[in-house]
A and B are shown apart, each in its own frame.
Chain A
Amino acid sequence: MKIFPKQFRLYCLGLLSAFCFAGTVYISPSEDPYTEIQEALILASPGDIIHLSAGLYELEDSLSIDVNNLILEGEGINDTVLSFKNQLSGAQGLSVTSDNVILRDFAVENAKGDAIKVKGVDGISFIRVRTEWTGGPSSENGAYGLYPVESKNVLIDSCVAIGASDAGIYVGQSENIIVKNSVAEFNVAGIEIENSYYADVFNNYASNNTGGILVFDLPDIPQQGGHHIRVFNNKSVNNNTDNFAPEGNIVGEVPRGSGIIIQANSHVEIFDNDIGDNDTINIAVVTYGYDTEDENYYPHPRSIQIHGNRFGRSGYNPDLETGELAKILFEISDGDMPDIFWDGIVPLPQIIFGQPEKDKIVLGNNGDASFLTINPLKYILPFFDPIETSYEKFSGEITPLPPVVLSETL
C-alpha cells in the first residue's frame, strides 16, 4: 500500500482536511487483499481516493465504507474485479454507510448476499460499476446488485447489473434518484424503484430479465407511498427469462415477459420508451395484491401517465405459471393480450362514485398500442361485461412531472 503524496497527508492531519488536497491510496492484488483494502477504507480521511489497480481481488469477508466523501475506484468495469466467490462472512460484498461516497470503475462478482448495499446515506454515486453473478440466472444468486436503500441523492450512471435473484438495480425507500445509461440483464427484476420518492429512470437497457423495469410500493416498512417516478427513453425488451426468484419475495410474482410494471405508487410518468418482445405484457399497472393491516398504506396506483412509447409485440407467450397477473389477464382478454393493462381496482367508494379526476390513469399518444382494463362496478354486477378496451376513454392531456435534481454536493 503506497500513500501519495505522503507529505501532504501528514500536513493534512495537522489542519482541517477541507483545506487540503486529498490523498490517494494505491492498492494492487496481493496475498491478503481483504486486510489491505479494508484497512485503507477505515483509515481514509474524507476526500481520499482508494484506487484499486486492475486485477482480480479474491475476498472472503465483506468490505465496508464508513468515511464521508470517499472515492473507491478501480481501473475499469471489467478490469478491477472484487470476487466474492469464496466469501465466508458478511451479508454483502461491499456496504456503504457514509455520505457522498463515489464508487466507480470496478466490478463486484458472485457475492453470497447482496453485491453492493448502501444504507441511510445522503449522496451516493455508482459510476461504471458492474455487479454480476457469473453463473447465469439462479435462485442461489444474491438478491440485489446495486442496492441503495433509505438514502437521498442517489446517482446510478453507466452501470451494469447481471444475474440478481431479485433486482439488478434496486433503489428502495429512497428519495431523489437518477438511474441512467445502465444495463440490466438476466435478473428477475432489471431495474426496480420501490417505496421511493422522486426518481428519474432513463436511457437504460433492460433485457433478458423476468421483468424489465418495476415501480413498486409495499406495506409494513418505514417509508411507503412511492411517488413522482419518471421512466423514459429506456429500452425494455425481450425480458423473457423464467422467474428464478426464491418464493416469498414480491418479485417472485412477476410473470416472465413483463416490460414495465407499476404497482401502487402515485404520479408515475412512463414515456418515450421502447418496449417489446415481452412474452406476457409490455406495461401493467396494478394494485398490491395481498391483504394488509397497515393503515398508512395505499395499495392502488394513482395518477399514472403513459405516453409516447413505442411498442413491439407482447402477450404472445404469456407466463401463466407465475403469480396471478398473466393468468387473470389471459382469461379476461380471452388470450388477446393488450400492450397496456390496468387492473382497474380502486377503493370501494370510488367503485360506486368514480375516481377523483386527479387520480385517473392518463394515456397519451402511444401509437397503435392496445389497452385493457376491468370496470370494477360492472365486474360486481351481473349481466355486464366488465372488460373495457376503449383507449379513447382514458386518453387525455399529459401533465409532465418535473425532472429530478440531485443535491449539488454530488
Chain B
Amino acid sequence: MKLYNSLILIAFAIFSISITAEVNHSKVISQDAALKLSDYGFFTNLSKQIPTEGVLPYDLNSALFSDYADKLRFVYVPAGGFAKYNPDEVFDFPTGSVLIKTFAYLNDFPESELDAQLLETRLLIRNDDGWKNVSYIWNKEQTDAYKSIAGKTISTQFINEYGDMQDIRYRVPNINQCKECHQSNETISPIGPKARNLNKDISYADGSMNQLLKWHQQGWITENISTKSMVDWSNINEDLDTRARSYLDINCGHCHIEGGSADTTGLYLNFTENRKINLGYFKKPIAAGRASNNLKYSIVPGNPDESILLYRMQSLDPGIMMPESGRALQHVEAVDLLRKWIHQL
C-alpha cells in the first residue's frame, strides 16, 4: 500500500512537472494572443518570475531607459529551433520564439518601504510572417497580467537608487506605440538581442556563463560570432566614446536609423553609424520646431549646452523630449554621460 502511494506520488510529480514545466506552445503559435500571461506557461512561478525550463533569462550590455523601471528579460526558443546570426542585427529567431520582458519597480533598496510592483510584461512573438507584439498589464494583486489594447496609465511610486520615494506616471504603451520603436522598414522586430549587446556573462540556475556561449550550448546559435561589443554605458572602466555610443544605440538608434521611424531627420544614432553629419555633428535640425530651444545644431562638439540632443534628453515636455515616448523622468546619469561625451568631442 505504501509503495502504491509512493508510486502515485511519483507519478503525480512527473505529471505535474510535465504540465507546469512546459511552455504552452499552441498558445504561442495561435493567431490570437492569449488573454492572460499565465496562459503561455512561461513561468513556474508567475509572480516571482521564475521561468519554466527552456525559458532562459537574458540581459543586455546597455538597455533602454524606461523611467528607472527594472526589466526582467527571458527568451523562449522552441525545441530544435535555431536563430541565424546577422551582424549588426537582431538574431533571426525561428517561428515560435518569444522574447519576454517584464517591467517592474522591484524596490529592492535596503529598508525599502515599498514592495516590488510588476507593471507590465511585453511579448514579441515570432510567427511565420514576422514578429507580433502584445503587452500584458499586471493586476493589483500581482497574480497575473492581462492583455492590453490601448495601454494604461499607472500612477505609482518607486524607491530610487538613493532610497527616496519618487512619483511616476508610468505609461504602458498601446500596440501602435510599440511599433513606433519596433518598426523598421515596415516590419516589426526586436531591438535588444543583437550579438553585440548580448556578449556578456550572466548567472543562470546552473552557474555563470557568457550568454552567446550558453545560447550556442542550447543549440540556438552558431559558435563563431565575432562582433564589436557594446558596453554597459554605466561602466566607468569602459572608454567614454563606446559608453556613449552604446547608450545612444539602445535608446535612440532603433528610430534614428535608416528605415526607422525618425529617419526623416537624417539623424542616425545607431552603433555602427560613422558619418559625422548623420551622427549630428553640426547638423541643423529638420523638423524640431520649438524642441530646438533656439540652438542651431544637434551636436556641437565640445559644447554640450549648445547641443539640441542633450537639451531634448533633459526635457520632460512631450513636445520636446526624446525619446518621444516611454519616458516621463529625466535619466540623470545618462545626461551626465552624454554631457561628458559631447564635451570631449
Contacts and interface: CB of A to CB of B under 8 A. Distances in A.
B297 interface: yes
Contact of B287 (A39, A143, A222): A143
Interface stretch (A46-54, A106-114, A231-239, A366-374): A106-114
A112 B317 contact: yes
Contact of A220 (B175, B277, B294): B277
A397 interface: no
Contacts of B112: none
A90 B150 contact: no
B174 A64 contact: yes
A221 interface: yes
Interface in B286-331: 286-297, 308, 317-321, 324-325, 328
B265 interface: yes
A290 interface: yes
Nearest to A294: B277
Contact of B292 (A35, A248, A293): A248
A41 B149 CA distance: 10
A250 B288 contact: no
Contacts of B296: 247-248
Contact of B328 (A89, A165, A170, A245): A89
For chain B, what secondary structure do more than half of its interface residues adopt (helix, strand, loop), or is it mixed? loop
Interface string A275-311: 0000000000000001001100000000000000000
A172 B264 contact: yes
A255 interface: no
A38 interface: yes
B183 to A, nearest CB: 8
B264 A119 contact: yes
B264 to A, nearest CB: 5
A43 interface: yes
B193 interface: no
Given A39-B150, A89-B318, A90-B318, A113 B264 contact: no
Contacts of A41: 176
B229 interface: no
A323 to B, nearest CB: 13
B263 A249 contact: no
B157 interface: no
B122 interface: no
For chain A, what secondary structure do more than half of its interface residues adopt (helix, strand, loop), or is it mixed? loop
A237 B285 CA distance: 29
A91 B150 contact: no
A100 interface: no
A249 B263 CA distance: 17
A149 interface: yes
A28 B263 CA distance: 36
A222 B278 CA distance: 11
Contacts of B295: 247-248
A87 interface: yes
Name, among B153, B264, B265, the residue most crowded by chain A CB atoms within 10 Å (CB to CB): B264
A252 to B, nearest CB: 8
A38 B318 contact: no
Interface size class of B (residues with CB under 8 A): 35 or more
Contacts of A88: 169, 318, 328
Contact of A91 (B263, B265, B325): B325
Contact of B297 (A89, A166, A248): A248
B284 A290 contact: yes
A98 B290 CA distance: 27
B262 to A, nearest CB: 9
B150 A38 contact: yes
A165 B149 contact: no
Interface string B41-84: 00000000000000000000000000000000000000000000
A9 B324 CA distance: 35
A142 B291 CA distance: 9
A97 B174 CA distance: 14
A229 B296 CA distance: 29
Given A90-B324, A250-B284, A42 B150 contact: yes
Name, among B149, B150, B308, B321, the residue most crowded by chain A CB atoms within 10 Å (CB to CB): B150
A246 interface: yes
Name, among A89, A97, A165, A218, the residue most crowded by chain B CB atoms within 10 Å (CB to CB): A89
B288 A172 contact: no
Given A165-B289, A221-B265, A246 B294 contact: yes
B149 A139 contact: no
A141 B317 CA distance: 12
A120 B266 CA distance: 15
B288 A249 contact: yes
A153 interface: no
- In order of increasing CB-CB distance, the 4 nearest A-B pairs are A143-B289, A112-B319, A248-B292, A113-B319
Given A170-B287, A222-B258, 7 more contacts: A38-B174, A42-B175, A43-B149, A113-B289, A143-B289, A245-B289, A247-B295
24 contacts: A38-B174, A39-B149, A39-B150, A65-B176, A66-B179, A88-B169, A88-B318, A91-B318, A112-B319, A114-B289, A120-B261, A142-B290, A143-B289, A144-B287, A144-B289, A149-B287, A170-B287, A220-B266, A220-B278, A221-B266, A222-B264, A246-B293, A248-B284, A248-B285
